[in-house]
Amino acid sequence: MLELRAISAGYDRRAPVVRSVDLTIAPGESVGLLGPSGCGKSTLARVAALLHRPDAGQVVIDGEAAQGWRHRAPRRQRTAFGVVFQQPRLSADPRLALRDLVAEPLRAVGRSSEAADLVPELTARVGLGKDLLGRRPHEVSDGQLQRACLARALVLRPRWLICDEMTAMLDASTTAALVHVVEEYRRESGAGMLAVGHDRVLLERWCDRTVRWEELAG
């Protein structure tokens, strides 16, 4: 269970963008969060993934309250999440070849030796040709880079996926391909998901249930 309890968060304590929000996602469940631009969806998604410390409230991951945020979160909690952002270029180290980008989380947890098996398997799964793996982010398209970022999000086999407008910059066929990869992973792993976006048709088709920002905001 991923529980967001009475979360308030933002960038100025006097004017929170997320106000007293409650949201619970059951194991294996996929929830779409719909809302207009600028309402606070990304901020809430970052709180859920332990990337942004809320001003108030609690995140409870599989029964255990979050023990910290960003690099201060304990590894077992941090690695419970795979996160894919809207703009792959902002979340990809421009110096890394795509194969190293996908392997980054393995290196961070001292499991680099597994990259030799996992990187080819995952890059094939997300549809990245072998010829692209030696290229750096500026040498590939947004869609190709987002495929690599999705592979990176899956490499530690997270129990929870947080997809923040994952497909907003992509064409219809790349969107369909990435949604398919996520759903295949969720089927075999039982991972739950929070997908944030403003495309109602996509989220309603993709997710078990969708909630609108106005229903959540306190």
Ligand X SMILES: Nc1ncnc2c1ncn2[C@@H]1O[C@H](COP(=O)(O)OP(=O)(O)OP(=O)(O)O)[C@@H](O)[C@H]1O
For ligand X, give the closer residue by CB, 115 or 162. Answer: 162
CB distance 133 to 103 below 8 Å: no
Q: How far is the CB of 167 from ligand X (least distance, A)?
A: 13
37 near ligand X (CB under 6 A)? yes
For ligand X, give the closer residue by CB, 69 or 185. Answer: 69
For ligand X, give the closer residue by CB, 54 or 105. Answer: 54
Q: How far is the CB of 7 from ligand X (least distance, A)?
A: 12
157 Rama sector, left if φ>0, alpha if ψ -120 to 50, beta otherwise: left
Q: How far is the CB of 11 from ligand X (least distance, A)?
A: 3
Footprint of ligand X on residues 175-214 (CB under 6 A)?
198
57 near ligand X (CB under 6 A)? no
43 near ligand X (CB under 6 A)? yes
Mark 99-118 with x for binding to ligand X (rule: CB under 6 A) and - for no binding.
Answer: --------------------
For ligand X, give the closer residue by CB, 77 or 86. Answer: 86
Q: How far is the CB of 210 from ligand X (least distance, A)?
A: 15
Provide the binding-site residues for ligand X, judged by CB under 6 A. Answer: 11, 17, 35, 37-43, 165, 198
